[in-house]
């Protein structure tokens, strides 16, 4: 038999036999549970559901394919192959000189967890406590707080501590009791490699007076700290939703995964159940390529949306659930008016400065990735020993700075924030319930900005890249179906920096890099600022530079089907059920009402774990009633 080419290896489904479906003709006509989206949250939910109810059937419908390729497994910075991601272009961004940007989200079994940079941290306790403040008291009572989520963070992962020699070599610190202890399917490790410059930059941050955290994942995500990568400790390969939640369980007889298909709509039936006028009875699906027929698959129990922040709103909107004016413009009759669907869109804006280092600290990523001999050595070391530079994905240390560590004058900014009216910087026609919710957000953000125990800016350390993520934006965007073509990719508008106070806050974060590179340790690197460079020094120049150079996304879109009371523009209730509809939940990143100051994947796993526990609890209760 001839050896398979890479392309053949990618296309064949080598592990999962009959349970991978590529055509609707291979499906049952109905399932107990249907999950839209086989990504980070969808595969988590499917794993837990199929385990809890062996006699109930679960169908996951995934737009992308099951790709068996080693480039996904090798630690990577981001997106190993553009074909694994949707290529959506944002609308012209009004706060960024009307530039448009690629909206990158995964289109593959495993979703974004298959293409992310594996940085596996958590936000501060205050970030999650703010969710309850924003959403409403009953959300706090239901555990949408740090204390309520911590058990799910722990449950979702297994943390393997670094070896004693790695601890000594890299100064790794961690505290298992404070943050870990679970044995979940997603693996978390400190990689067995750091670039030598990591130590120098980390020291430079401490010379600026930034505190060091021994462990940040116990709710203390501010200061300078290490955090894990989502990576397998034995093979040093990516640990993601597919390797953790699908491959080991794919042969369960109650589990079908349909790939290459998209959920276009939810099948809704009128009901008279208290405040719920409709119940979800299944989904309409369509092949991504070829046959354009729309097929209905019914569900007896629940439909669970896990299509991510960019695509979950479209499924709801096409089903008649969303802002009435948008649905009317798209000729869709409104079944449940929920103005929050597709609103409240948030991401961490990102900015890259560039410094040339005159001191050549070797090895470093700049020279290694461009030098074929060094790359060959690194590849051989990785293949043979699972050590060396190629075990490090996006890096696993950072400085996470509260506003007060970037400026002495927080008072001016906080006074301006307190004076903001919620309607001033949202679009003119924003629904009153969204304004009410946003007022709660502004108040929560004012508290977060005024305290020292949560971060406003992230400065990733490991690779000398002078990158900055703006963690607590005030601006809000939208994700809407295209009214002229509802099945097409959505209209995405980040609206980054449309709230002008964001720009003022961001300036402090950006200028902090200059202070960092003036510290004695950083000076040993011989930094020369290339971008923005000496021509940018006044605030006016910084503002112009930022509008021209900032990107709207650190790949962390959230918020478009947010937890919250209906009168606050919320889309889902404390049990993640969509307001007004029976048997329909959302378990993905879109439910986060406020973006936490962290990379988002570990929070998505925790949210999905908590959400599906609710589905299972309700399923068991129904069972008992039936018996
Ligand atoms: C390039 C990149 C780098 C990142 N880096 C990091 C990082 O280093 N650390 C970190 O913590 N986080 C990172 N993230 C973010 C993190 O991975 C995401 O927040 C998280 O994985 C999102 O999970 P989700 O379940 O909400 O969505 P996804 O994982 O995106 O899953 C949604 C799935 O639904 C499918 N889908 C969409 N529409 C439909 C439809 N209509 N029908 C059927 N299926 C559909 C999609 O194809 C996708 O597979 C990164 C993200 C990206 C894109």
Query: Which pLDDT score, from 0 to 100, does residue 463 have?
Result: 67
Examine the residue annotation and report whether 556 is marked as an active-site residue of this protein. yes
**How close is the Cα of 495 to the center of ligand 1, in Å?**
21
- Residue 77 marked ligand-binding: no
Annotated domain spans of the chain: 6-115+252-346+559-622, 161-241+349-409+455-549
pLDDT tens digits along 224-241: 999 999 999 999 999 999
* 544 CB-contact burial (10 Å; exposed 0-12 / middle 13-18 / buried 19+): middle
Torsion angle, alpha carbons of 194, 465, 504, 472, to 10 = -40
- Residue 478 marked ligand-binding: no
Cα 408–410–416 angle (5° rounding)? 150
Q: What's the average model confidence in pLDDT over 102-122?
A: 97
- Tell how strand 349-357 and strand 527-531 pair up: antiparallel
With a cut of 70, say whether residue 5 has pLDDT above it. no
pLDDT tens digits along 163-176: 999 999 999 999 99
Query: Which pLDDT score, from 0 to 100, does residue 272 have?
Result: 84
Examine the residue annotation and report whether 599 is marked as an active-site residue of this protein. yes
Map residue 35 onto helix, strand or coil. Answer: strand
Please name the fold of domain 6-115+252-346+559-622: FAD/NAD(P)-binding domain (3.50.50)
DSSP annotation of 162: P
Query: Which pLDDT score, from 0 to 100, does residue 211 have?
Result: 97
DSSP annotation of 243: I
In percent, the amount of the chain with pLDDT more than 70 equals 97
In percent, the amount of the chain with pLDDT more than 90 equals 90
CB 448 within 8 A of CB 130: yes
* Residue 116 CB less than 6 A away from ligand 1: yes
Task: For the beta carbon of residue 150, count every other beta carbon within 10 angstroms.
Answer: 20
ipTM of the complex: 1.00
Q: Ramachandran region of residue 419, left (φ > 0), alpha (ψ -120 to 50) or beta? A: alpha
Distance of CA 64 to the CA centre of its chain: 18
Residue in 158, 6, 124, 608 with CA at minimum distance from that of residue 401: 124
Query: Which pLDDT score, from 0 to 100, does residue 624 have?
Result: 84
Query: Which pLDDT score, from 0 to 100, does residue 19 have?
Result: 87
Query: Which pLDDT score, from 0 to 100, does residue 364 have?
Result: 87
Choice from 35, 40, 156 to test ligand 1 binding pocket (greatest atom count within 8 A of CB)? 40
Please name the fold of domain 161-241+349-409+455-549: Glucose Oxidase; domain 3 (3.30.560)
Summary mean pLDDT of the chain:
95
* Residue 63 CB less than 6 A away from ligand 1: yes
Choice from 308, 489, 554 to test ligand 1 binding pocket (greatest atom count within 8 A of CB)? 308
Map residue 73 onto helix, strand or coil. Answer: helix
């Amino acid at each position: 038999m001839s050896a398979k080419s890479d392309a053949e290896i990618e296309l064949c489904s080598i592990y999962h036999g009959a349970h991978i479906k590529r055509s609707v003709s291979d499906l049952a006509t109905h399932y107990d549970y249907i999950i839209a989206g086989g990504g980070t949250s969808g595969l988590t939910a499917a794993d837990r559901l199929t385990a809890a109810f062996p006699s109930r059937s679960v169908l996951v419908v995934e737009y992308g394919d099951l790709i068996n390729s080693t480039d996904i497994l090798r630690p990577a910075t981001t997106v190993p192959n553009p074909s694994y991601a949707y290529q959506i272009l944002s609308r012209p961004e009004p706060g960024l000189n009307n530039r448009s940007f690629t909206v990158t989200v995964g289109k593959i079994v495993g979703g974004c967890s298959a293409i992310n940079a594996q940085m596996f941290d958590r936000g501060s306790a205050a970030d999650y406590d703010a969710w309850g403040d924003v959403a409403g008291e009953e959300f706090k009572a239901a555990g949408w707080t740090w204390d309520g989520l911590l058990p799910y963070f722990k449950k979702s992962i297994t943390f393997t501590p670094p070896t004693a020699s790695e601890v000594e070599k890299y100064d790794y610190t961690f505290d298992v009791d404070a943050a870990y202890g679970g044995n979940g399917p997603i693996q978390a490790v400190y990689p067995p490699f750091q670039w030598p410059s990591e130590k120098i930059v980390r020291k430079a941050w401490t010379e600026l007076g930034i505190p060091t955290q021994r462990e940040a994942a116990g709710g203390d995500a501010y200061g300078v700290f290490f955090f894990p990568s989502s990576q397998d400790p034995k093979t040093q390969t990516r640990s993601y939703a597919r390797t953790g939640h699908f491959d080991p369980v794919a042969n369960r007889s109650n589990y079908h995964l349909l790939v290459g298909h998209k959920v276009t709509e939810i099948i809704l039936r009128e009901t008279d159940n208290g405040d719920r006028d409709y119940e979800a009875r299944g989904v309409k699906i369509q092949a991504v390529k070829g046959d354009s027929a729309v097929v209905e698959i019914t569900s007896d129990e629940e439909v669970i949306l896990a299509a991510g922040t960019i695509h979950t709103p479209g499924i709801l909107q096409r089903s008649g659930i969303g802002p009435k004016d948008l649905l009317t413009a798209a000729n869709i009759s409104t079944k449940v008016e929920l103005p929050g669907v597709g609103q409240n869109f948030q991401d961490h804006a990102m900015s890259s400065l560039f410094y040339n280092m005159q001191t050549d600290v070797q090895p470093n990523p700049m020279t290694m990735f461009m030098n074929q001999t060094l790359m060959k050595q690194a590849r051989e070391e990785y293949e043979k020993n699972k050590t060396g530079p190629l075990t490090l994905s996006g890096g696993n240390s950072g400085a996470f700075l509260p506003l007060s560590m970037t400026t002495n004058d927080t008072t001016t900014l906080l006074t301006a924030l307190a004076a903001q009216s919620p309607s001033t910087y949202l679009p003119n026609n924003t629904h009153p319930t969204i304004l009410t919710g946003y007022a709660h957000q502004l108040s929560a953000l004012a508290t977060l900005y005024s305290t020292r125990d949560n971060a406003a800016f992230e400065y990733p350390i490991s690779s000398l890249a002078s990158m900055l993520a703006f963690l607590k934006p005030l601006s809000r965007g939208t994700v809407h179906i295209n009214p002229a073509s509802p099945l097409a990719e959505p209209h995405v508008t980040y609206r980054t920096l449309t709230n002008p106070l964001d720009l003022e806050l961001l300036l402090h974060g950006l200028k902090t890099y200059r202070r960092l590179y003036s510290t004695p340790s950083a000076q040993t690197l011989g930094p020369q600022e290339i971008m923005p460079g000496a021509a940018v020094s006044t605030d006016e120049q910084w503002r112009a530079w930022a509008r021209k150079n900032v990107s709207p996304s650190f790949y962390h879109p959230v918020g478009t089907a947010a937890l919250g009371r209906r009168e606050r523009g919320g889309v889902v209730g404390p049990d993640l059920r969509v307001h007004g509809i029976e048997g329909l939940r959302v378990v993905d990143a879109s439910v986060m009402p406020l973006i936490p100051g962290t990379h988002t994947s570990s929070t998505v796993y925790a949210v999905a774990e908590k959400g599906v526990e609710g589905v299972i609890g309700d399923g068991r209760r129904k069972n008992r009633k039936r018996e």
